[in-house]
Amino acid sequence: MCGIAGQYCFSGGEPDRELLARMSRQLVHRGPDGEGLEVLGPMGLVHRRLAIIDLSEDGLQPMTNEDGTLRLLFNGEIYNYIELREELVQKGHRFHSHSDTEVILHAYEEWGTACLQRFNGMWAFVLWDEKTRQLFCARDRFGIKPFYYTTINGSFLFASEIKALLEHPDAGRRPDDEILGTYLAWGVQDHSDRTMFDGIFQLKPAHALIVTGDGPHTPYRYWELAVSPAVHSDTPRDEENARFLGLLRDATRIHLRSDVAVGTCLSGGIDSSTLAVLINTLIRDEAPASVSDRQKTFSVVFSDKQFDESRYIDEVVKATGVDSHKTEPAPDQLWEDIDRLIWVQDEPFGSLSIYAQYCVMRLAQKSVKVVLDGQGADELLAGYLAYQASYIRGLVHSRHFKEALREAAGSARFHRGFFSSAPKQVLVRRSRRSLLTVSVPPVDRYAGSLPEVLRRELCSTNLPALLHYEDRNAMAFSIESRVPYLDYRFVEYVASLPLDRKIRGGITKIALRSAIKGLIPESIRCRMDKMGFVTPEEVWMKETLRPFVLAVLGADSFRSRPYWNAGAVMADYQAFLAGRSAYSPEIWRIVCTELWLRKFFDARTGDGAVSATTAS
């Protein structure tokens, strides 16, 4: 796990060493264990190291092959590196380290760009070929690891975080109004190769990019996910459960490969609880040194019982005997942390649940260097309740009327509160979009059949943003976050399952609930609510954060923005405070955007730098 950056001068000239050094300093939190800077003709390479596998100097980067013709910068982990290394040794390759980084070099030598198909892990890397003067850039299948780039004056600049690119004075000088407006109106981000900074792009998940002396070529997709449209399963349940749990267990096992301590994020929900229990079985059966003899878990709790999951967390702790660590985020502390949190994230974020995760990573930093988390399971297994409407609609369109009635009855039985409040919330959010003065294209995350929705959510409209938040929050504290549910073998298997193994009778995540019966406490396996690392956002925005929000909305800078009607926003917020209108996330998105604009544009220095400590 690391931070990478670089400059390729494809139209002549030499890389700017001072620029590269500044980019490196912006990424120090991603790699406090070492740094590397190398210039090879037109190519400048920067690496910040977070040592996880092979802690020796043999793992330093940029890493070269035996004849010195290749240079590699790598951020991430290749979890099947042991198996790939054995295969490559049999093919005659000689290794000088025990790192997964070196496996990428030899895999590229053996299979070329097709090596991407063989990796199981998370990655953003560049390979510089000294012979051909070609730069090969690639990002993992789900975009777990970030990769940003821009082209300025004949130079291709790339980095793990946008703030490093901003060290070039001409990079990202103004917002991309359409992408920012789409976020404000619909709450989606990371759904496109464009970012909220004009002219700065991201390599999309499952894409690769080649840069030559002619400049960057068009990125291409190297992996595709297909979600089965079949409604019914005819596979015996025992066989399906064994396959499901076997794949998830093996994914968890290889995600524990590490030469430093590994812990687990535990929310009390079904996904993270399953991981915690699986890890405990692996401790018993295989004794992974990275976990030791007692697993450490990290959780958020709240004194407000409406948002607190302590009783579920405590049930897992009691069942497993894990070493439990808890933290309670506070709204007054949030406002002390908000400046750094916005700097960490690079772009505005959609809810204060991101702060809860930030606090969990701050807590984990005291004990471990790696955490496992349950990200991805909801999109894979249709865990969000809003997916049920798409499912029912798709069943009707495909003339599965009996199944549609069953699902409608199940939704009414188990989720009456959600579906009765949803229409009102839709109207509230539609009304708040009228506060905006930007014109943006419509976004309907739930349009189409359930398979179409799940694929979209996995690849563009939801999961990429969640992975963005997780990566930045973890790396803010020099922690590597791993997500076993996104092991591509497990993903492809779950995607191939019929829809009634995802939702049946209004119950979500059927395949997971069935496979883990007897493994985790029944009270958690049978939970119907969906929380995760949430915060009492509505309460905070009405009470403790009230003076801060009023100050933001009343500022001259806020009134000068072209994105909203400032007077109408203030009146709407005051109506919320007075109880005349319901809360919705649009309020926070507008506040967060104003703070972000101040941080990354108003306070930006002449040379482009953005400080982590600039007052907000």
Residue 371 near residue 295, CB atoms below 8 Å? no
State the catalytic residues: 2
Alpha carbons 555 and 372: distance in angstroms, whole number: 41
> 594 and 569 in contact (C-beta within 8 Å)?
no
DSSP class per residue in 87-142: HHHHTT---S---HHHHHHHHHHHHGGGGGGG--EEEEEEEEETTTTEEEEEE-TT
- Of 469, 252, 479, give the one whose Cα is nearest residue 367: 479
Contact 256/483 with Cβ under 8 angstroms? no
Amino acid at 244: F
Q: Which two tokens stand for residue 221?
A: 């997709």
Q: Which of 537, 533, 536, 517 is nearest to 525 (CA)?
A: 517
Tell me how far apart the alpha carbons of residues 237 and 337 are, in angstroms, rounded to a whole number. 48
Closest CA to 122 of 142, 136, 106, 103: 142
The DSSP line for 427-453 is: HHHHHHHTTB-S------TT-S-HHHH
Number of Cβ within 10 Å of residue 324's Cβ equals 18
Distance, CA of 590 to CA of 558 (rounded, Å)? 10
Distances 610 to 196, 470, 600, 614 between C-alpha atoms, Å:
15, 21, 6, 8
| DSSP-based three-state secondary structure for 157 | strand
Contacts of 573 (CB under 8 A, 6+ apart): 549, 550, 553, 587
464: burial class by Cβ within 10 Å (0-12, 13-18, 19+)? buried
